[in-house]
Amino acid sequence: MRSALWLTVVVLGCDAGVPPPAIPPARPAPKVFDAAVATKSLIGKEPGTLGSAFDGLALGQQIDQRAATAWLKERGIDARAYVRDGRLASINFQYVATQLDWVHAGHSFEEHWFVPALHQHATLQTTEQGEFLQFDLELPVDRWIDATVASVVRLDLVKKPFDQVEDSVHLVTHSNYVDGRAHVSWVDSALAGAATATDVSVRELHTIDNGRDVLQSHDVHVELEATLEIYAAIEQRLGELFGESRRIPKGIGWGRTKVTLEHTPVGAGIEHIELTLER
């Protein structure tokens, strides 16, 4: 009589017929943030250009504000975009200095770069929060200044209460006090053919009444660097909008607003141009 051998297999922690749990894959090591690499991907190799991180998003392309913001968020790019008239007009992000890029390498106009082939400007802004690079599309003079909120020169800000100005601007650079007077400043799209982007500020206006400093109103102040030909184009545009009197017509809603245009030579055929709308 042959004896039977019985083999018993015990699997701990498993029910009969149920496979053991799968071993989870090892998690990849967290990426270490490299400021130099991040900066190089945001800025291009040539002065005034965007880097490879923005491939697929270009200034001037048709897009709406929500889609532009979502595009940046999906790719983890910490930048702000601004859309004007259905086209991407500005991209702004914090700049991290490196020794291998063009930002601090020296250039003709301090803190400004112009790329004619791309119709765009780059501007380095130094604020209380750090340094920021802003890339702006250039616009023809009839879109640069117009009686709409899409205009770079915002005529409507002349009549808006000063404490509401900052909420009306898409990319405020800073808001503080200069000589005891408040102002809100930002950089905006360049006038086509200008050497720099457009610096805009809304400033408090004060008067002295019986020895007291009294807030009277505010003005919109615009500055840029350009040739005398560009100055003449702005002057012609002002005539088209407001007439030779250089006062905004009452029919537009900003009556009694005085328009002042001035220029000062800064060298190499370039003028410092200032446009002021004072109510």
Q: 203-256, pLDDT tens digit by residue?
A: 887 666 666 655 567 889 999 999 999 999 999 999 888 876 655 555 444 556
Is 60 exceeded by the pLDDT of residue 99?
no
Note whether 171 and 278 are same-domain residues. Answer: yes
Mean pLDDT of the chain: 78
194 in the same domain as 84: no
- Amino acid identity of 114? F
pTM over 0.85: no
Q: Which pLDDT band, with edges at 50, 70 and 90, does 5 fall under?
A: very low
Of 111, 137, 163, the last residue of a domain is 137
Within this chain, do residues 245 and 155 fall inside the same structural domain, yes or no? yes
The structural domain count of the chain equals 2
Give residue 95's pLDDT band: very low, low, confident or very high (50, 70, 90).
confident
How far is it, in rounded angstroms, from Cα 279 to Cα 259? 9
Residue 77 within a domain: yes
What is the pLDDT confidence band of residue 73, given thresholds at 50, 70 and 90? very high
**Domain end residue (candidates: 108, 137, 166):** 137
The larger pLDDT score, comparing residue 82 to residue 111, is at 82
In a shared domain, residues 153 and 268: yes
Tell me what the mean pLDDT of segment 13-29 comes to. 54
- For 145, the domain range is 139-279
Q: Cβ distance 57 to 115 under 8 Å?
A: no
**pLDDT tens readout for residues 137-195:** 999 999 999 988 889 999 888 888 877 888 888 766 655 555 556 778 889 999 999 99
In a domain, 9, yes or no: no
Residue 5: inside a domain: no
> Which residues, other chains included, contact 81 with Cβ-Cβ below 8 Å and sequence gap of 6+?
57, 65, 68, 69, 71, 72, 88, 90, 91, 92
CA-to-CA dists, residue 54 to 33, 41, 49, angstroms? 19, 8, 10
